A and B are shown apart, each in its own frame.
Chain A
Amino acid sequence: MRRRLATPRTGGLLALAVVIAVLPAFLPNNFYFDVMILVGLNAIVCIGLNLLVGYAGQISLGHAGFFGLGAYSSAILTSTYDWPPIAALLAGAAGVGLLAFAVARPIMKLRGHYLAMGTLGLGIIISIILTQEVDLTGGPDGMPVYGFSILGWEPSGVLVWYWIVGGLLLLTVWLALNIVESPVGRALRAVHGSEAAAQTMGVDVVHYKVLVFVVSAVLASIAGSVFVHYIGFVTPSEAGFIHSIELITMVVLGGLASIYGAVVGAAILTTLPQLLTFLHDYEMLGFGAIMMGVMIFLPRGLVPTTARLLRDRTR
């Protein structure tokens, strides 16, 4: 029993569930709930992104593009075409999955900085299209979005949204942990270690790279859909380069190849700007300095570094 509790799949998931369940008691007002909901949504995107970057070793500087596509699919299908929100969410996820599948093969052929450029380019093209197709998307000003509803039930109020996002986050963590500990996860790590060696051992390298790229894109799309229904508004900046950078920074800050690292990274980088507002004009400067400092002194990320420290101490 104790051994099972020490594993990330049972113990870690249980701990996260407890944190999510207990947290509302410590949140003084709606503002904090709002921040926590955003943390949860970012964490969902980052978990998918970490499967791609941390486990499979393939960088992406364009994931906000998929988030934005999911967001706009939901916005346009529900507001302009009166689709039910859940159908719009699924259609968006399916569409993004197909797009990711179509571009995955040529993009996943690229390596290192060329891959960084390819994904960055894809994200920027998506955000430019969303900005310029004014008739469809409302252009740079964005567009309003109706609330969510499923089978006639319409969630309202931050507490309800908190539980919805919290539940989705737990589901995503559970899914990701299962992927990581399955043969697929082992194959991904083999690809990360050495593609040539993985190939020699019979791992279908291309297949697994495409698979994880599609999974991470779909997760981003779903988070984007939920995000617009919660916020009630969407602008092209959700798909922009800056947002992509924020996402990848969350992943690296929390720790590559660590599911809980993605959650921690998302929590820190989402709350940090709120905490830095007291700096006023120095906010951006401070943000950049913290980003550099953490990466210089903790290049492996927070969670793996802390985990190693704890392990060394108990030994």
Chain B
Amino acid sequence: MLTEFLQFLLSGITVGATYALVGVGFSIIYNASQVINFAQGEFVMLGGMMTWFLFDAAGLPLAVAVPLAIAGTVVVGVALEKFAIEPARNASIVTLIIITIGASIFLRGSAQLVWGRDFHAVPALSGDAPINLSGVALNPQSLWVVGSTLVVIVLLHWFFSRTMTGRAMRAVAFNRLAAQLAGVNNRRILMFSFGLSAALGALAGVLIAPITLTYPDVGIMLGLKGFCAAILGGLGYPYGAIVGGLIVGISEAMTAGYISSAYKDAVAFVIILLTLFFMPNGLFGRRGVERV
């Protein structure tokens, strides 16, 4: 009974950590630009697919393939900002949403073209012999997922509170014009945010691919669930997105285990609707005051 519960909890935390990484990416880009980047899920896909390609087809060792895959995704993220978001700076929210959705279709189409539509397996970072913890089977990859997410959280915290760039990003999120007047280069911050989000997405992709496999459409649901995590925590609050991701991941695993695996994918959206009905700005979001 308890082992069963712990088993579900463990898989929930693993998936939840991935959603959290994707959700943090949404929040970072939103803070820099007020844009919701619907291509965030494609960063996850690119991370996984590039790792598979470099490792399996190009024969590079995993320790080289993973950093290269993340670097490649960062290049895509920065290019997306440079060629699609930057030229449409003054467009409306709906227009920007459609541009990023167009980008996600474009990236999926490119991935299909280059790597085909098949599912690919990426090897786990340290084998896949489960560790037995008094009846609970722990997939070593889960440790990698959760451990890396923790490291990322600590690094992000250091980055946002101690470095000049991180503090500039917070200033831009708080008040773009004031930040600009104080000498922050908004365009550089924007480009950096896309790069950072791409890196986080790609990392999530590399970490989760050994568990879920990777294929060109893998990013659709992962991206939407990450968006759920970001909204649940309150848009623009990276730490809120982490809590949101864990809530979504754990509820999903519990539903699949105890109620019905058929409705697993619906859980995230039911949670988000119920939360928004009672808290229209997410769990930690400030109540927005409309300036007239």
A59 to B110, CA, bound (A): 29
Q: Are A299 and B224 in contact (CB under 8 A)?
A: no
Q: Are A299 and B91 in contact (CB under 8 A)?
A: yes
A289 to B47, CA, bound (A): 21
Which of A53, A111, A124, A132 is close to B280, meaning CB atoms less than 8 Å apart? A111
Q: Are A295 and B102 in contact (CB under 8 A)?
A: yes
Given contacts A281-B112, A285-B113, contact A114 B231 (CB under 8 A): yes
Instruction: From B90, B113, B282, name the one whose CB has the most chain A CB atoms within 10 angstroms.
Output: B113
Please give, as numbers and ranges, the residues of chain B lying within 8 Å of A27 by CB-CB distance: none
Interface status of B151 (Cβ within 8 A of chain A): no
Interface status of B266 (Cβ within 8 A of chain A): yes
Please give, as numbers and ranges, the residues of chain B lying within 8 Å of A116 by CB-CB distance: 36, 97
Q: Are B266 and A125 in contact (CB under 8 A)?
A: yes
Interface status of A11 (Cβ within 8 A of chain B): no
Q: Are A125 and B273 in contact (CB under 8 A)?
A: yes
If over half of B's interface residues share one DSSP class (helix, strand or loop), that class is named, otherwise mixed; here it is helix
Chain B stretch 190-237: residues in CB contact (< 8 A) with chain A: 220, 224, 227-228, 231, 235
B100 to chain A, nearest CB (A): 9
A293 to B138, CA, bound (A): 47
Interface status of A188 (Cβ within 8 A of chain B): no
Q: Are B292 and A196 in contact (CB under 8 A)?
A: yes
Q: How many residues of A contact B (CB 8 A)?
A: 47
Please give, as numbers and ranges, the residues of chain B lying within 8 Å of A128 by CB-CB distance: 263, 265-266, 269
A65 to chain B, nearest CB (A): 11
A138 to B105, CA, bound (A): 29
Q: Are B106 and A285 in contact (CB under 8 A)?
A: yes
Interface status of B150 (Cβ within 8 A of chain A): no
Interface status of B256 (Cβ within 8 A of chain A): no
Q: Mark B111-155, 1 if CB is under 8 A from A, else 0.
A: 011000000000000000000000000000000000000000000
Interchain Cβ contacts under 8 Å between A and B, 17 examples: A61-B97, A107-B277, A109-B280, A113-B30, A114-B231, A114-B235, A117-B272, A125-B273, A194-B292, A195-B290, A196-B290, A252-B94, A252-B95, A281-B112, A287-B105, A289-B106, A291-B102
Listed in ascending order, the chain A residues whose CB lies under 8 Å from chain B are: 53, 59, 61, 106-107, 109-114, 116-118, 120-122, 124-125, 128-129, 132, 194-197, 241, 245, 248-249, 252, 256, 281-292, 295-296, 299
